[in-house]
């Protein structure tokens, strides 16, 4: 271990140290001054961003550290920066909710920072061991976050389901890695890729290992048929936790798929391409169809997430730099948009009651016209309506699937987008054309409203001027 290697991992080292500082400092902070913990967590993200940008590598450069177990490249740096920015927004949104529901505790920030560390480790993983360590750090932190409200029966039930199913999926992923290790003799992703390129390893053993690896990736993304945890966790967890789960971990899921399938198992592309095509098709159909029947907005957005992961898989299955860039663009676009959607749900949750029913959005345009307009832009983006960010994200991944020869799957994706537009536009109809059940104005703190405004306008601005973000994603795979 050299000083140069430690410098490459400086953002991870800093986040780990800062999370420990936040954990210890919170012990001496009273409940009345809990805002200090919030500020410490935000400062952690600010300095992590500076440290990452300070040594951001140019396109094409790849540096390895710690015997190849850690990778520093453009792809990882871009994903990390967006993880920091999105988590900062999550912290601002969550503070308003946590205060209202008497959950404003330091554990939320500590666990979120450790989950972020897991995301960062996964993003920079150069070995299957590193992938698994990052995945487990993220997963264990998330399990605890879901159970943050110990008095909630639904939260405890969701956490238990998530823990059991997540442990099963992690075991399958680990078993798949062990089979690949048995076939290639290495856990280093670059070495595994080279071994597959030379035709080494028993084909049957590699195929079985690949199946288990894909199952683990599909579970973490929430793709059908490994989606059973998504609706229950989204519904049972406190809104602030659902907001977190729906955003930052999606970037980690993308990194998990890219690192394992491209960096390590690209030699088996023809095998995992077909598997991802089936997962994408099932997710697109099931996610959009079942979302139509939902009356609970958290469950509706959960099934919406499943369908969006189907879209993201369209870019990954192409197995090309253009496809990976499209998938990366889609993951970032979805994380930004999903955070804004759940922020509006938090804003409407008052008096100890979550606004989780679709009917709660009746007449929102009369109660708060600006926030209703922001929600309209966010829903239009999720539906893939021009000129919003979601439209260009869908366009990119469908184009990647077409270039890979999946014409039928691309047509299915277009039809799924049309079906999905129905349940998004249904909420727009309620906001603008239905009478409100109450005339009480919707209020929120200044910082909440400011971040939500930036979030909503970003959905429009990054759509109209999407070329810059697309170029940034393309540069990550140059």
CA distance 186 to 197: 14
CA distance 366 to 450: 20
Whether the predicted pLDDT of 42 surpasses 80: yes
Share of the chain above pLDDT 70, in %: 100
**Confidence band of 41 (pLDDT split at 50, 70, 90):** very high
Half-sphere exposure (CA, 13 Å, Cβ side) for 367? 22
CA distance 360 to 375: 13
pLDDT in the model for residue 251? 95
Close Cβ partners of 274 (under 8 Å, ≥ 6 residues apart) = none
Mean pLDDT, rounded, for 368-391: 93
CA distance 124 to 75: 9
**Confidence band of 381 (pLDDT split at 50, 70, 90):** very high
Distance of CA 17 to the CA centre of its chain: 24
Q: Indicate if the alpha-carbon torsion angle 248, 251, 253, 259 is positive or negative.
A: negative
- What does each C-alpha distance from 393 to 156, 228, 252, 455, 459 come to in angstroms? 35, 26, 18, 17, 11
**Confidence band of 95 (pLDDT split at 50, 70, 90):** very high
pLDDT in the model for residue 412? 96
Q: pLDDT tens digits for 125-150?
A: 999 999 999 999 999 999 999 999 88
Weakest-pLDDT range from 57-61, 115-119, 340-344: 57-61
B/e letters for 18-35, b = 16+ CB within 10 Å, e = fewer, are bbeebbeebeeeeeeebe
pLDDT in the model for residue 442? 78
Q: pLDDT tens digits for 225-278?
A: 999 999 999 999 999 999 999 999 999 999 999 999 998 899 999 999 999 999
CA distance 25 to 44: 13
Whether the predicted pLDDT of 352 surpasses 80: no
pLDDT in the model for residue 350? 80
pLDDT in the model for residue 160? 93
Whether the predicted pLDDT of 441 surpasses 80: no
- What does each C-alpha distance from 295 to 214, 351, 426 come to in angstroms? 32, 21, 11
CA distance 182 to 194: 15
**Confidence band of 19 (pLDDT split at 50, 70, 90):** very high
Mean pLDDT, rounded, for 172-191: 93
C-beta separation of 261 from 173 below 8 A: no
Rounded to 5 degrees, φ, ψ at 67 are 60, 35
Close Cβ partners of 113 (under 8 Å, ≥ 6 residues apart) = 15, 18, 19, 22, 41, 44
| Mean pLDDT of the residues in the chain | 92
Weakest-pLDDT range from 50-54, 206-210, 434-438: 434-438
Tokens describing residue 250:
């999606």
Whether the predicted pLDDT of 5 surpasses 90: no
Q: Which of 283, 286, 268, 280 is nearest to 401 (CA)?
A: 280
Weakest-pLDDT range from 193-202, 373-382, 436-445: 436-445
pLDDT in the model for residue 436? 82
pLDDT in the model for residue 478? 80
**Confidence band of 151 (pLDDT split at 50, 70, 90):** confident
Whether the predicted pLDDT of 452 surpasses 90: yes
C-beta separation of 144 from 110 below 8 A: no
Q: pLDDT tens digits for 279-333?
A: 999 999 999 999 999 999 999 999 999 999 999 999 999 989 999 999 999 999 9
Q: Could you check whether the bond before residue 225 is cis, i.e. omega within 30 degrees of 0?
A: yes
Q: pLDDT tens digits for 326-342?
A: 999 999 999 999 999 99
Close Cβ partners of 393 (under 8 Å, ≥ 6 residues apart) = 311, 326, 329, 330, 333, 334, 384
**Confidence band of 198 (pLDDT split at 50, 70, 90):** confident
**Confidence band of 57 (pLDDT split at 50, 70, 90):** confident
């Amino acid at each position: 271990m050299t000083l140069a290697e430690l410098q490459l991992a400086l953002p991870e080292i800093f986040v780990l140290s800062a999370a420990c500082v936040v954990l210890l400092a919170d012990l001496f902070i009273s409940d009345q001054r809990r805002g200090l913990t919030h500020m410490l967590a935000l400062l952690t993200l600010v300095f992590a961003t500076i440290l990452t940008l300070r040594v951001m590598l140019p396109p094409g450069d790849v540096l390895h550290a710690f015997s190849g177990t850690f990778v520093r490249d453009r792809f990882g740096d871009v994903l990390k920066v967006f993880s920091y920015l999105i988590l900062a927004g999550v912290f601002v949104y969550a503070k308003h909710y946590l205060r209202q529901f008497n959950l404003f505790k330091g554990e939320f920030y500590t666990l979120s920072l450790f989950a972020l560390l897991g995301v960062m480790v996964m993003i920079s993983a150069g070995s299957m061991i590193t992938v698994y360590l990052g995945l487990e750090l993220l997963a264990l932190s998330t399990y605890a976050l879901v159970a943050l409200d110990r008095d909630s029966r639904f939260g405890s039930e969701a956490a238990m389901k998530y823990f059991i199913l997540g442990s099963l999926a992690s075991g399958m992923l680990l078993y798949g890695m062990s089979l690949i290790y048995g076939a290639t003799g290495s856990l280093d992703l670059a070495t595994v890729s080279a071994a597959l390129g030379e035709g080494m390893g028993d084909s049957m053993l590699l195929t079985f290992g690949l199946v288990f690896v894909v199952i683990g990736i599909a579970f973490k993304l929430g793709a059908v048929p490994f989606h059973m945890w998504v609706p229950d966790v989204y519904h049972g967890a406190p809104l602030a936790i659902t907001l977190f789960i729906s955003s930052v971990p999606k970037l980690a899921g993308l990194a998990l798929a890219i690192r394992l399938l491209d960096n390590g198992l690209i030699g088996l592309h023809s095998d995992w391409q077909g598997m991802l095509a089936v997962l994408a098709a099932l997710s697109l159909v099931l996610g959009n169809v079942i979302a139509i029947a939902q009356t609970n907005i958290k469950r509706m957005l959960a099934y919406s997430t499943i369908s969006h992961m189907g879209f993201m898989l369209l870019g990954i299955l192409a197995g090309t730099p253009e496809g990976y860039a499209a998938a990366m663009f889609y993951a970032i676009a979805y994380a930004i948009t999903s955070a804004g959607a759940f922020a509006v749900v938090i804003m409407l949750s008052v008096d100890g009651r979550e606004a989780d029913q679709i009917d709660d959005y009746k007449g929102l345009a009369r109660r708060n016209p600006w926030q209703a307009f922001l929600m309209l832009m966010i829903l239009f983006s999720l539906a893939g309506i021009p000129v919003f960010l979601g439209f260009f994200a869908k366009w990119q991944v469908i184009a990647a699937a077409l270039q890979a020869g999946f014409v039928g799957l691309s047509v299915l994706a277009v039809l799924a987008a049309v079906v999905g537009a129905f349940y998004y536009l249904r909420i727009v109809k309620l906001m603008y054309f239905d009478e409100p059940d109450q005339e009480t104005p919707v209020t929120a703190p200044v910082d909440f409203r400011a971040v939500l405004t930036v979030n909503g306008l970003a959905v429009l601005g990054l759509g109209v001027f999407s070329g810059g973000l697309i170029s940034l994603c393309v540069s990550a795979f140059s």
